[in-house]
Structure 1
Amino acid sequence: MCLFLGLPCEIKDLGEHAFMWKFNTKFLYVGNLTVLQLNGVEKDMMSNGIIIKRLTNDLTGIYRCEISSNPPRMVQYNVSMHTAPVIIPNPANKDNKVVVSQDQPLVLQCNIATSSSLLPTTFQWKHNSKVIELNRTEFVVETIQLSDAGDVTCEARNEIGSRSHTFKVIVQAKPVITLSEQIVHGPVGTDVEVKCMAEAYPAAKIEWYYSSNNPIHVSTKHKIVNNMNEHSSTLTIFNVGTKDHQEYFCLSANSLGEAKAYFAVTGRPSKPKFTSPKVSNNGDTYQLEWVTFSQPPIKNTTLRVREIDHVNGQPGNWQIINVEPTVSDGTALKTKEPHRRQTYLLENLSQDKSYEVDVVVANEFGSTKSDVFVFSTSDFTSADATTLGMSFTMMIFVLLISVIA
């Protein structure tokens, strides 16, 4: 946006006094001497005025033509232009980083420069691209946590356009550890992998240990890969044996403290996952199906099932069922992670009801329990009635066609 602007300054009887032009607090000219050259601003050689040949947002502000009398006399011009909001962030750091300690307050401000505050302005705040606050120049977190770290952006908008500023919020805290798994299914002869992620500032190093506090080092048995960008470390255990079925932990520490996270490598079956549909179409029966990984054969399987909202909104009693494990074929026994599938037919269920079920599977190393799975039975009578109604309508339609023919 460009605009030509002349700022006159008529002077009579200057005498021994000097005259000068100032822009905000900076001297531009003293008499005909140029002190500071602004791109787009020049002295009018035919008068004592100045000319703004190309008005931009950087040239908006207060211009003064001033005489060094006592008291000084001046002519003042407040030059502004309608632009998209100019944001003055607080705090204002060169790299936009704002470092705050955990549990301390965070205050961020997006003030608007006077030169662009003439038009009504609306505000929007985002945290990592998610909108969190509307129409406020200030964003406050009373006690900041690690989850509050990241990019906090304020956007100011008026009828001309919008501008934004992003604060990079860094929370100082001791490490918080997240493990990819806490129970690692590791059959004998397989390789297993665990990732340890440590969220902390200052950055924290990660080390691996057996539960006996013996450190784990890189060897033909163990591989450790550190990812500084992801703040993570990945441990691989090769060719798992029965002695590797034990507890481990990763340790992360920085100048503010340390944290540990424990996990176990086990030959127990993996957590069973239900693969059957959530709705039965067989009225009072339901074919339940689940799958687990286990190198040794499954020895025992225990199923629990109960009706939800049985009486007055209360669930029914658990029914305990011992299921005979399916015998794996020869192919499954030769694989490193046999895929063991099991089905069981539940009978005498109430129609149009919901049930919850879980299962515990066990091999020679121990047992593993599934999450709770919910399924529903259909109203078999209503389904028959609907089908019958459709058949009846089709029969009438066919009869009409026959009559017309």
Structure 2
Amino acid sequence: MIVVCGCLHFYGKVEHRTELMFSPSTKAAWCLATFLSVFVTGEIPIHAEVEPEFLAPLENHTVTQGRDVHFTCVVNHLSNYRVAWIKSDSKAILAIHTNMVALNPRLSVTYNNHNTWKLHVSNVQANDSGTYMCQVNTDPMKSQMGHLAVVIPPDIVDTVSEGSSAREGGNVRLACSATGVPPPAVMWRREHNKPIVFRHDGGRERKVVEVHKGESLDMSHVQRSDMGAYYCIASNGVPPTVSRRYHVQVHFIPQVKVTNQLVGAPLGSDVALQCYIEASPKAMNSWYREDSLVSDKLLENPKFRVTETIVNEYSLWMNLTIKSLAPSDFGTYVCASVNALGKMESQVSLHRLELNGFPDEPLVSGAAWQRARNLPARAHPASSHAQYSLAQRLPPQLYALMLTALRYVTTF
């Protein structure tokens, strides 16, 4: 009886210490087992304390640099033991309970006064990557680990672009390197999705692509069509994707072409002379009159008007409009373009167009005008009155074409 009562008294202590709740029948069974143990061995068994246990694994995190993150460690039955946080790869103790050991203002620990501890890392940096351990100082110690991976968006390193300009037929090299975690992939695209052309040594096309992968872009035997903007684009799955613009300049001597070398127009009319120019680097363009001894650059005035229409960065249309043609306006006009590599020009011969018997003479091309003026007299219609009536009813251009055709028919 004394042993049984002692058993109940001891159990009451164990119950109070461990804060466990048992039913009366369980208590009786425990005491009976204790009594039998004492009867056989002569020793009273001591009930072991409940060991601390982790209720959930420590999580893994992947975080973008500059953001905040925390690890959560949940431990039951901690009793008088303590929770410590350790950086496994460096073996550095970061905190014990809520007391910080590491001298890092970006680290902190919070406790909910029950069973949950949190290690907070603010403004995460690349060197925060690694394995973190939540440890309980039992014997042997208990711990669990979680991994922190810090990812960094791509960034293009400032580099000098080598060979971003070249003479036509030369070589161009563009270089672009990028940093980031994980290492970013780099590719090249042209502005407006124009094709990137790679050529053989002879200048023949070898490969045409929209995207070129790699940190460098090497183009040989470049042509003027390769001129323009190229983008280096870096991405590693961590937003945002970044890009940098590089410009390729291809230099060549100006090329000048006029649409018509012979132009005919009647007195008093307005006439437009057209000229197409390609040049790089930028050229100085002009129209001027060419006589036997005198060359005068034509400046903007009420008589002459020069307009430019840009086609792309190396080509344009330059038009010369001459108003109210006078006899002195007929002659040779020169479209000229000059840059650092050379000069090129092309001529237009402006002739007076005469259609006998008509006060209103339409504008026709130089070739048609020459063919018409060389026809014999019998090619002209008999009745000038009929011609004048027809001219009044038809547009001048259409009438001129019909008249030329009629002269050919009557000639043959």
Normalising by structure 1, we get a TM-score of 0.46
Normalising by structure 2, we get a TM-score of 0.46
Instruction: Please state which structure has a larger fraction of its residues in strand.
Output: 1
